[in-house]
Amino acid sequence: MKLTVWTYEGPPHVGAMRVATGMTGLHYVLHAPQGDTYADLLFTMIERRNHRPPVTYTTFQARDLGSDTANLFKSACQDAYDRFQPQALIVGASCTAELIQDDPGGMAETMDLPIPVIPLDLPSYQRKENYGADETFFQIVRALAKKVDRSAQISCNLLGPTALGFRHRDDITELTSVLSDMGISVNVVAPMTASPSDIARMGAAHFNVLMYPETGEAAARWLERELDQPFTKTVPIGVGATRDFVTEVAAITGVAPYLDDSRLRLPWYSKSVDSTYLTGKRVFVFGDGTHVRAAARIARDEMGFEVVGLGCYNREMARDIRRLAKDFGFEALITDDYLEVERAIEALQPEMILGTQMERHIGKRLGIPCAVVSAPVHVQDFPARYSPQMGIEGANVIFDTWVHPLVMGLEEHLLHMFRDDFEFHDAAGPSHHGGHTPAPSADAGTAPLPSRDISEDPKSPGGADVIWLDAAERELKKIPFFVRGKARRNTEVFAAQRGVHEISVDTLYEAKAHYAR
């Protein structure tokens, strides 16, 4: 554990919150100090939920540590049961409360509550949020799922969606539709939307669909071993993966494979002249392992991009992502340090980033377009509209999400290219006014305002000692914005090493030739 401005994953008890908040009829009693009570902020603000998360805290303070914190926990458990009447309780400790070793599970067991009480042992100082969600769901399934008769119709359980997941709500709808077209019904979706009584009837399904390995694989493996339910290994994100998923489901169930791809819009654009603008774009991919693996395949095989780097922040997926990166011909970046990710992006200078909310911030700073493909995300990535990632409609959504930043990037580059044109300079006014552009006011003056170059870096080497001549500055602005910052820095280093204090057009091209060798 370390202190940082940004973290890709919270502590494991946040993962347990994601499971509890996604479910119904389940309550989470968390032994935690006052400072750890931030679940409301996470779920009601970011995910726009219309109800508070089902979490009760002991909220002990420093003065309580000298007395009996165990009784504080028992009182919180009893109050939670009396007030919410849940079908089951999960109990655990936050990272701070773990240090006082009160054993919430043991204490809850002595209370003889008339409902199942499931203790969570989540090592806060070794593991993180996705592990916490995976382990919590596994413990719930192990405690409540049991063998029952199989359903008359071929059915499956959908495993892995949680609260705060990236488009999980809409993925459930899309995947249910894909399976329904094959004549397969969904028995239980869990943990999201499920109640403890739903978990108890998971055994009625013939197989399981593992939607998100980060949060559902431990449960899927237990169900396969104990209830004889095989599970799918393909995550249906992207056209190719969706077709592979349908083939895999057909092999497990013996039903005929069927996929209605009449709604797919990707081939329509691929046949257009405009699509050639996308071919060969250099992209960097970073996020959780599941979405990175899917995005890399889509980028290379369906969009015609060149993947120049990829990685993930959840170390549980490191082996798969390293193997994937090897297939692409480079080494994967496995880290939870956003500064390390930023350095990698800055060095590679991709034309687009596919990442998380953090990479969106990095892209803004570096002037590189970014599409969000993975959690962690902020409120704008929980849209009101139907916006899945899985299935055919998910492929359409992904295509739009990825293309729009590139198109806007092209528009920005064109504006920079023509910034000195008589029609487009800053003092020209909106182009739709034509020849009737309002004259600037006397207070504002008549001189054009200087345009700000978003690629300028105040910390660029040599910036204090080197002067750019006007002609060189104009020539520099012809370079696409997404590599202009690197060109500026390289030129300044080149000039400083040679004792050149004024950068001319010739210096700019000499530096370009030098670094091209």
CATH number for 359 = 3.40.50.1980
Tell me if 87 is assigned to some domain: yes
pLDDT (average), residues 343-355: 94
- What pLDDT, on the 0 to 100 scale, is given for residue 514? 86
DSSP 301-324: IIS--EEEEEEES-GGGHHHHHHH
- CB–CB of 171/388 below 8 Å? yes
Preceding amide of 161 cis, omega within 30: no
- What pLDDT, on the 0 to 100 scale, is given for residue 455? 43
Name the DSSP letter for residue 35: G
Of the candidates 301, 350, 346, the residue with the CA atom closest to the CA atom of residue 327: 301
d(CA 17, CA 35): 16
> What's the pLDDT tens digit per position in 129-150?
999 999 999 999 999 999 999 9
- Bridge partner residues of 287 (DSSP): 312
Tell me: pLDDT of 448 over 70: no
The pair of three-digit structure tokens given for residue 56, joined into one six-digit string: 């009760």
| Together in a domain, 89 and 159 | no
**Per-residue confidence band for 199, with pLDDT thresholds at 50, 70 and 90:** very high
Out of 309-318, 405-414, 471-480, the most confident range is: 309-318
Identify the active-site residue in 274, 288, 301, 337.
274
- What pLDDT, on the 0 to 100 scale, is given for residue 81? 95
Of the candidates 159, 162, 95, the residue with the CA atom closest to the CA atom of residue 127: 95
Cα distances from 264 to residues 20, 171, 250, 259, in angstroms, run 35, 16, 21, 11
Domain boundary among 101, 128, 155: 128
- What pLDDT, on the 0 to 100 scale, is given for residue 108? 83
Tell me if 5 is assigned to some domain: no
| Together in a domain, 293 and 247 | no
Tell me if 458 is assigned to some domain: no
Portion of the chain with pLDDT greater than 70, in percent: 82
| Together in a domain, 332 and 238 | no
pLDDT (average), residues 18-47: 85
- What pLDDT, on the 0 to 100 scale, is given for residue 429? 55
Domain boundary among 351, 375, 404: 404
Phi, psi of 152 (to 5 degrees): -65, -45
pLDDT (average), residues 239-243: 97
- Bridge partner residues of 155 (DSSP): 185
Q: Of residues 189 and 460, which shows the higher confidence score? A: 189
**Per-residue confidence band for 445, with pLDDT thresholds at 50, 70 and 90:** very low
Out of 88-102, 104-118, 176-190, 483-497, the most confident range is: 176-190
Q: Half-sphere exposure of residue 49, counting CA atoms within 13 Å on the CB side?
A: 21
| Together in a domain, 58 and 108 | yes
Tell me if 424 is assigned to some domain: no
Q: 136 CB contacts (<8 Å, ≥6 apart)?
A: 15, 16, 19, 20, 90, 120, 122
- Average pLDDT of every residue of the chain: 86
CA dihedral 161, 162, 167, 171 (to 10 degrees): 20
Tell me if 452 is assigned to some domain: no
Question: Is 410 labelled as part of a ligand binding site?
Answer: yes
Is 327 annotated in the active site? Answer: no
Tell me: pLDDT of 334 over 90: yes
486: domain CATH number is 1.10.8.550
| Together in a domain, 119 and 178 | no
Please state the domain count of the chain: 4
Domain boundary among 128, 154, 174: 128
**Per-residue confidence band for 489, with pLDDT thresholds at 50, 70 and 90:** confident
- CB–CB of 423/452 below 8 Å? no
d(CA 235, CA 174): 13
Preceding amide of 376 cis, omega within 30: yes
Angle between helices 481-497 and 391-417 (to 10 degrees): 50
Q: 231 CB contacts (<8 Å, ≥6 apart)?
A: 159, 207, 208, 209, 210, 220, 221, 223, 224
Tell me if 412 is assigned to some domain: no
- What pLDDT, on the 0 to 100 scale, is given for residue 194? 98
d(CA 239, CA 264): 9
SS (H, E, C) 98-162: HHHCCCHHHHHHCCCCCCCEEECCCCCCCCCHHHHHHHHHHHHHHHHCCCCCCCCCCEEEEECCC
**Furthest CA-CA distance within the chain:** 84
d(CA 273, CA 14): 47
d(CA 207, CA 226): 12
- Bridge partner residues of 229 (DSSP): none
List the helix and strand counts (H, then E) for the chain: 18, 14
Q: 414 CB contacts (<8 Å, ≥6 apart)?
A: none
Tell me: pLDDT of 435 over 70: no
**Per-residue confidence band for 458, with pLDDT thresholds at 50, 70 and 90:** very low
- Bridge partner residues of 237 (DSSP): 390
Q: Of residues 484 and 426, which shows the higher confidence score? A: 484
Tell me if 288 is assigned to some domain: yes
The pair of three-digit structure tokens given for residue 503, joined into one six-digit string: 């950068």
Tell me if 440 is assigned to some domain: no
| Together in a domain, 279 and 373 | yes
Cα of 54 vs its chain's centroid, Å: 24
- What pLDDT, on the 0 to 100 scale, is given for residue 47? 86
- CB–CB of 212/161 below 8 Å? yes
Question: Is 309 labelled as part of a ligand binding site?
Answer: no
Cα distances from 134 to residues 8, 83, 131, 148, 176, in angstroms, run 16, 28, 5, 24, 22
Where in the sequence is the domain holding 320, given as residue range(s)?
Answer: 265-404
d(CA 279, CA 299): 10
- CB–CB of 341/311 below 8 Å? yes
Question: Is 228 labelled as part of a ligand binding site?
Answer: no
